[in-house]
């Protein structure tokens, strides 16, 4: 049986396994190569450095929920419920990541701290999706013209909901009442958009 070809995706999966097993402080490219049964040179042909590999695995983790959210942002129908669905899907995805595998989540918190440019790009993508919903609501007349403009308002929506997506608040996500708190923030923001 011929060996599976060495793809970036296989390397990233192996990297995640190695990070989970050895922790972010100890995991090396040699560990990743060993887990794949290849030389570390083969890994370096896809990712030029340990830093590049760690950045790519962070990016992949941050992007995990992008596709789903992007579909919600671009869906048909009224903008208000779509915005609420988008924020709820983001919150649910973050909670799943934090709750299902807390050790891996802690590992990624270390990586996120190392790769702030990757995180900034991720946040820009998220805010871009919010802007898409805000603009469609303004076009349809469902939302009033925002006081601060659509782009600043999308950023404001991101900022105003960070208790429900910023990993700094992960400990809050299992509190009783957190869903009611999320609903209260959404209620206020949606009214603010309707103007």
Among 9, 101, 159, 179, binds its own copies (CB under 8 A): 159
Binding piece for its own copies, criterion CB under 8 A, among 11-19, 32-40, 99-107, 159-167: 159-167
CB crowding 114-123: b at 16 or more within 10 Å, else e: ebeebbeebe
CB of 185 to its own copies, least distance (A): 5
Interface with its own copies in residues 134-153 (CB under 8 A): 144, 146-148, 152-153
Q: Which of these ranges, 16-24, 36-44, 63-71, 180-188, lies near its own copies under the rule CB under 8 A?
A: 180-188
Examine residue 175 and tell whether it contacts its own copies (CB under 8 A).
no
Q: At what angle do helices 116-139 and 66-73 cross, to 10 degrees?
A: 20
How far apart CA 110 and CA 145 sit, in angstroms, is 40
Cβ 136 to its own copies shortest distance, Å? 17
Give exposure, 135-152, as e/b (b: 16+ Cβ within 10 Å). bbbbeeebbeebeeebee
Task: Name the nearest CA neighbour of 66 among 6, 125, 142.
Answer: 125
Report the interface residues with its own copies, using CB under 8 A.
144, 146-148, 152-153, 155-157, 159-163, 166, 168, 180-181, 183-185, 187-193, 195
């Amino acid at each position: 049986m011929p060996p599976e070809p060495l793809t970036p995706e296989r390397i990233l999966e192996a990297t995640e396994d190695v990070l989970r097993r050895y922790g972010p402080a100890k995991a090396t490219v040699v560990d990743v190569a060993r887990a794949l049964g290849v030389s570390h040179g083969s890994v370096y042909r896809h990712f030029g450095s340990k830093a590049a590999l760690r950045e790519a695995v962070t990016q992949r983790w941050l992007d995990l929920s992008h596709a789903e959210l992007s579909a919600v942002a671009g869906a048909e129908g009224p903008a208000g419920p779509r915005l609420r669905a988008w924020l709820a899907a983001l919150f649910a995805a973050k909670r799943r990541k934090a709750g299902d595998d807390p050790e891996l989540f802690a590992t990624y918190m270390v990586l996120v701290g190392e790769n702030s440019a990757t995180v900034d790009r991720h946040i820009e993508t998220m805010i871009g999706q919010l802007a898409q919903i805000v603009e469609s609501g303004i076009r349809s007349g469902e939302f009033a013209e925002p006081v601060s403009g659509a782009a600043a308002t999308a950023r404001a929506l991101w900022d105003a909901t960070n208790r429900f997506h910023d990993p700094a608040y992960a400990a809050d996500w299992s509190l009783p009442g957190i869903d009611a708190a999320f609903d209260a923030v959404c209620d206020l923001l949606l009214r603010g958009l309707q103007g």
